[in-house]
Structure 1
Amino acid sequence: MFRPLAVFIGARYTRAKRRNHYISFISLTSMIGLALGVLAMIVVLSVMNGFQKEMSARVLGMVPHAAIAGVQPLDDWRSLARTALDHPQVQSAAPLTELEGMLSYKGAMQPIQVQGIDPHEEPKVSIVAGHMEQGRLADLVPGEFGVVIGEITARRFGLQVGDKLTLIVPELSDTTGGITPRMQRLNVVGLFKVGAELDGSLGLIHVADAAQLMRWQPGQVQSVRLALKDLYQAPQVAAGIVGELGAAYRAVDWTQTQGSLFSAMQMEKTMIGLLLLLIVAVAAFNIVATLIMVVADKGADIAILRTLGATPGQIMAIFMVQGTVIGALGTLAGGVLGVVAALNVSELIAWLESVSGRQILSSDIYFVSYLPSDLQMLDVALVCTAAFILSFLATLYPSWRAARIQPAEALRYE
């Protein structure tokens, strides 16, 4: 089978046993270093994807994907919900009233965001029902002013189900200060834990109790909360629904309330990816040292090839083929090992925990008790492509030096 001269000799140099075993060792370490760099990038990016996916599922499972609010309190939220459900992206809808206040318990205070919900409709749009540590959403009964609080809030105050605390809500008034605090006694009827900051900043009460706190008519709510099929379409979906309803309504979506958190997570992933790419770059540019030593070792061979008629371009191509083969094998090995490791990293960490008897990720500290991993083939393709390009670029300078060797100079001392 016909093969170009450069490919034939470059491949032969790669697999041949050289006289200088040190050069062979350097070539092997360059290949292993590149493979380890690619493996590390794939595993770390997969783990970061896993954490981002878990955070998205927990945080965005608690906060509204989108909410349609009226300029005035809504008297008939169900008719608005039916209009929103006509949109193909909207899965379900539920009433929602939000207010800010302070929780007070035995002299300790903390800010809190209170959501008035319908305990029968809320499971359609939120994951909180599946993360109840104590009590149930159904324990929120109109008129009893029960509250479901997060695990962090309960731990901070030392609260249990059955305890009572005070909610302080600011109210506009005609007094000199303009704002008068209004206090309401609440009964703790449940605790939830989603493993995010919301455990320490969110409380749930019945939507009827929220209307009473806001001094609205019974049955009035602030907005209709929507759960969407594709939450990344939330701004467009909410704007489209409000456009149909008219100027008496406004839209709020998760990108306005939680967008900075997920932008920071994406920035963190990008920066860590760039830092890990430096490891791959160091491994790839070890090929430079390898090829320079190979060029020095093969000076006589290069001179003979030149005297036989090989052009400088062919000589350069020979060593580019050799370096590219090293880079391709290292990238391929790292890619395969990285995919295997990313698919099994959760089981590996669990095995290490069982062997060592120590928990690496404690649910008391982190929002998950295991190491999540979400392998995305686009990341694998980008990492492998970047590693291959870097390894190819690393071959250019040594190959150019080999092409500049003069046969007479190379054979002078042979």
Structure 2
Amino acid sequence: MTTSVPVFIGLRYWRARKDTRFVSFITLFSVLGITIGVAALIIVSSVMNGLEGRLKGQILGAVPQLVIDAGELPLEQMQADLRRQPHVVGQVPLLSSEALVMRGHDMGGVQLLGIDPVLELPFSPIAAHMVQGQYDALQGGEYRILLGSQLASQLGVFSGDQVRVVAAQGARYTPMGRVPSQRNFTVAGVFNLGSEVDQRMALIHIDDASRLLRQTPQWRLYLDDAFLAPMVGQQLNQHWQALPTPPSLTDWRSEYGQLFAAVKMEKRMMSLLLGLIIAVAAFNIVSALVMMVTDKTADVAILKTQGLSRSAVMGIFTTQGMSSSLLGTLLGLLVGLALALNLQPVLDLFGIWLLPPGQPLPVIIDKVQVFYVVCGALALSFLATLYPAWRASHVNPAEVLRYE
């Protein structure tokens, strides 16, 4: 008995419509369920990838991804070690402190970064998102500052206005007590990244930061993938752990780890909920096959009397169930990819803007993720066919054909 016989009979049962209209109705719903589940999972996963990628670029591209306090490690040795790291694309000096930016009675708390704009320019995304002024307007000794758009709006300031910066670091002790380090700065520009960085970050020249904070610079690393910061930090720690006083490292997770952990958890929960749609469709396949087995019991008994083995009988109904699954998965794949690639134009037709007007919905289609969705749908459907197929393979021809 060739393997083509179970496949041929299974496909013939799957195409049959006479006297099996109710079964065909359930089969149709199982195909539609798998189609909707696969398409929804691809679309939602792509949108979540896009939103995560936008956050990654807007936030992790601007904030320090990995910061090293060299301590007693010679600068030349540290830079040589960093050049050997494959994921490090840039290393620049940095001074950082919590600070208050004040204008009259209005104020806002920020992370104050002292940078060298010339060294930062090839790596920082802020230069490409200036809405007022210029990124290179920061000049040492001129005490200029760049503010995020949300903070500038909150303070009501524009380029050329004066603000007072009160830093947490660099405080001095006087006969009147501890006096925080503070100074007036001129707003040299305003940037807009479209994220909370616009509210929580301010930039000054590193020379001005050195006078204000009275600190020695740390080193800021730019990576080709910010999510690799923990791995790179661990590798550097292992490399330097034999030193008497190894450098200390901090990465972006100390400030934004909870945000991206929440995004990852949301992605997993959405995938789980949409995967349940595919599971429901798989249960419809079980129902359709069980009724088909009941309807075709006599046919199965005759086939077994002609020498069809139990595995071949299971192959018949597995083929029938997987035909519905393959059709639904293929349709879901095509619909999901088509909508994901044209999601914003489709939403525009209905006048729907999920983000503020002017910001298109970001979509990143992960081929590996799509592959897992398709394989998961097919695997779940295959498992759903096993019980009905096993039940059909255990039909006793003598009992079924006794009164035929």
**For this structure pair, what is the TM-score category when the shorter chain's length is used for normalisation?**
0.7 to 0.9
Matched, 1:336 2:334: yes
- 5+ long unaligned stretches in structure 1: none
In 1, Cα distance between equivalents of 2:266 and 2:104: 40
In 1, Cα distance between equivalents of 2:276 and 2:367: 21
Corresponding residue for 2:158? 160
Corresponding residue for 1:100? 98
In 1, Cα distance between equivalents of 2:309 and 2:403: 23
Residue identity matched to 1:376:
D
CA deviation string 1:359-385 (max 9, x = no partner): 44216xxxx811122112211121111
Corresponding residue for 2:217? 222
Query: Offset of 1:405 from its aligned partner?
Result: 4.2
Contact 1:81 1:224 in 2 (8 A): no
Corresponding residue for 2:382? 392
CA change 1:241–1:66 in 2 (3 A) is: farther
In 2, Cα distance between equivalents of 1:337 and 1:326: 16
In structure 1, the residue corresponding to 2:61 is in which secondary structure?
helix
TM-score calculated relative to the size of structure 2: 0.87
In 1, Cα distance between equivalents of 2:212 and 2:106: 22
Corresponding residue for 2:359? 369
Contact 1:94 1:124 in 2 (8 A): no
Query: Offset of 1:208 from its aligned partner?
Result: 1.3
Query: Offset of 1:281 from its aligned partner?
Result: 0.7
Contact 1:93 1:227 in 2 (8 A): yes
CA change 1:411–1:138 in 2 (3 A) is: same
Corresponding residue for 2:319? 321
Residue identity matched to 2:164:
T
Query: Offset of 1:13 from its aligned partner?
Result: 0.8
Among 261, 271, 276, the residue aligned to 2:259: 261
CA change 1:306–1:88 in 2 (3 A) is: closer
Matched, 1:284 2:282: yes
CA change 1:407–1:215 in 2 (3 A) is: closer
In 1, Cα distance between equivalents of 2:204 and 2:182: 15
Contact 1:146 1:206 in 2 (8 A): yes
Corresponding residue for 1:86? 83
Contact 1:164 1:187 in 2 (8 A): yes
Contact 1:81 1:93 in 2 (8 A): no
CA deviation string 1:60-99 (max 9, x = no partner): 2112232222448x9x97x578546633533332221001
Contact 1:350 1:370 in 2 (8 A): no
TM-score calculated relative to the size of structure 1: 0.85
In structure 1, the residue corresponding to 2:248 is in which secondary structure?
strand
Contact 1:242 1:250 in 2 (8 A): no
**RMSD (CA atoms):** 3.1
What percent identity do the matched residue pairs reach? Answer: 39
Query: Offset of 1:205 from its aligned partner?
Result: 0.8
In structure 2, the residue corresponding to 1:328 is in which secondary structure?
helix
Aligned length: 399
In structure 1, the residue corresponding to 2:158 is in which secondary structure?
coil
In structure 1, the residue corresponding to 2:8 is in which secondary structure?
helix
CA change 1:398–1:88 in 2 (3 A) is: closer
Query: Offset of 1:41 from its aligned partner?
Result: 0.9
Among 337, 344, 349, the residue aligned to 1:349: 344
In 2, Cα distance between equivalents of 1:155 and 1:3: 72
In 1, Cα distance between equivalents of 2:77 and 2:240: 11
